[in-house]
Amino acid sequence: MDVAVLIFLSSGLFLGWSLGANDAANVFGTAVGTRMVRFTTAAIICSAFVILGAVISGGGVAHTLGKLGAINAIPGAFMVALAAAATVYLMTKAGLPVSTTQAIVGSIVGWNLFSGSLTDTATLVTLTATWVICPLLAAAIAAVLYKGVAAGLRAAKLHLIRLDAYTRAGLILAGAFGAYSLGANNIANVMGVFVPVSPFTAFGIGEQFVFSSAQQLFLLGGVAIAVGVFTYSKRVMMTVGRDILRLSPIAAFVVVVSHSLVLFLFASQGLEHLLARAGLPTIPLVPVSSSQAVIGAIIGIGLLKGGRGMDYRLLGVVGVGWLATPVIAGLFCFVALFILQNVFNQQVYRPAEYALSETVLARAAAAGIDVAPVRALRGIRYPSATRLGDALGERIAIDNQTLKTFVAYAEVDRMTIDPRRLPDLGDSLLTAPQLAAVERLAGQTFIHRWMLDEALARESGEWAPLPPTTVNRIANRALDEKRQAVYNLFRVAPTR
């Protein structure tokens, strides 16, 4: 691997370290703060399970984050991650449990603004909504659990020594579950921006197991989180576990379980599939704030006790930090991208062109859009999605969904299926029929991604997306990952 690639990945590793330093407090902070679990024990368990969660269950959340902004150049991904990491580090140094999710969202929006890319408002609304829902849900779960656990303990009438032993074991088990949920949910914040430009290639171990390029990134990110846990998390653990509200060991257990359940609910593809098959509403797979979840759980217990003993001033400071984090990260990213591009001469985004050809207009018309008012724009090329949006907006009343449709169809993304590069696809990511379909297109050039998608689907039904139902969402996400691998391999660099 090129040394430059490792240098660019270093900002993701720094962000992983920052997340480990900050968010390990949310898994074991209450246990360590109440002196029920030693810091070293907590750090070992947290590190092991956060890596497992990242590698096994991190894909669904990363896919959602990628919708917010598809960063298409590794120097740009480097700076997005660095801006988020620096923001989290500064907040962590001040002893504040800030949101890594908010930091990376702010950075991605900053990249979108700098590159002229569209920010998917639907995804942004979903993400920001969870910043309110997450602490409220954690507070509600914690209040119900606390009442239930307290009633159960009163009925059991355990001896204090046995109760102490059970509580320690419960905190360790809850912490392991919490660490797994943290890795599964928040690895998207650490390495999600690198997934579209991953330097790794998938490889297989045996017949069944495939270690995808995204999972390799997530493994690196998980290790970085583990290093952050060991080296810098103790201070924030004490803020969460001791300073906001003095917690009993039982309350600490409830906080960890509540926090872990919230992260798991927003990260589990298995749960999503189970709900979909049962015909029930699914929970969006989005990265939620681990800090907000644990503090929401603490507040839930505090309010259940009448609000006595809570440090409202500290809560106010933490709240201000949450509001400031995405703004600081976005501004930092925008300025830093300008410096990286103009001072260090790095390509922070891959230039894109958009053109409304007759083929594109026909495609948009087939999607139910009235294209007559914009036919005068045929043949004009636009250097960014926002420029195309401005031109369209002068002629038609265009909503966000219509603009997204035009952008998806009009983007010029030239790809040539080079037969010399076919072996690079291997057989670990694609099925045999999918690989054969790509081989049959050898030598052909496609101007738009959707053209290649349609050609592949004609060659093999395994390249055709399933109907857009909730049940098929997981399978279509996997298909999107395979398509992206084909795009990255055969894309022709634009000549400028």
Residues 337 and 442 in one domain: no
For 137, the domain range is 3-342
Read off the pTM. 0.86
Q: 97-129: buried (b, 16+ CB within 10 Å) or exposed (e) per residue?
A: bbbbbbbbbbbbbbbbbbbbbbbbeebbebbee
Q: What is the mean pLDDT of residues 441-463?
A: 96
Q: What is the mean pLDDT of the chain?
A: 87
Instruction: Give per-residue pLDDT as tens, 39-69.
Output: 899 999 999 999 999 998 887 788 788 888 8
- Whole-angstrom distance, CA of residue 264 vs CA of residue 185: 7
Residues 228 and 310 in one domain: yes
Residue 27 lies in a domain: yes
Q: Residue 423 corresponds to which amino acid?
A: P
Residue 496 lies in a domain: no
Residue 210 lies in a domain: yes
Neighbouring residues of 276: CB distance < 8 A, sequence distance ≥ 6 = 282, 469, 470, 471, 473
Which residues partner with 338 through β-bridges?
Answer: none
Residues 34 and 160 in one domain: yes
Of 412, 431, 459, which marks where a domain is finished?
412
Residues 360 and 477 in one domain: no
Residues 272 and 370 in one domain: no
Residues 60 and 129 in one domain: yes
Instruction: Give per-residue pLDDT as tens, 3-16.
Output: 777 788 999 998 89
User: Any idea which residue has 């922070």 for tokens?
Assistant: 348
Instruction: Give per-residue pLDDT as tens, 413-438.
Output: 999 999 998 887 765 678 889 999 99
Residue 137 lies in a domain: yes
Of 412, 427, 462, which marks where a domain is finished?
412
Residue 63 lies in a domain: yes
Q: 259-272: buried (b, 16+ CB within 10 Å) or exposed (e) per residue?
A: bbbbbbbbbbbeeb
Strand-by-strand arrangement of the 381-382 sheet: 381-382, 353-355, 411-412
The total number of structural domains in the chain stands at 3
> Of 36-50, 130-144, 313-327, which gets the smallest average pLDDT?
313-327
- Would the pLDDT of 369 be above 50? yes
- Would the pLDDT of 243 be above 60? no
Residues 179 and 274 in one domain: yes
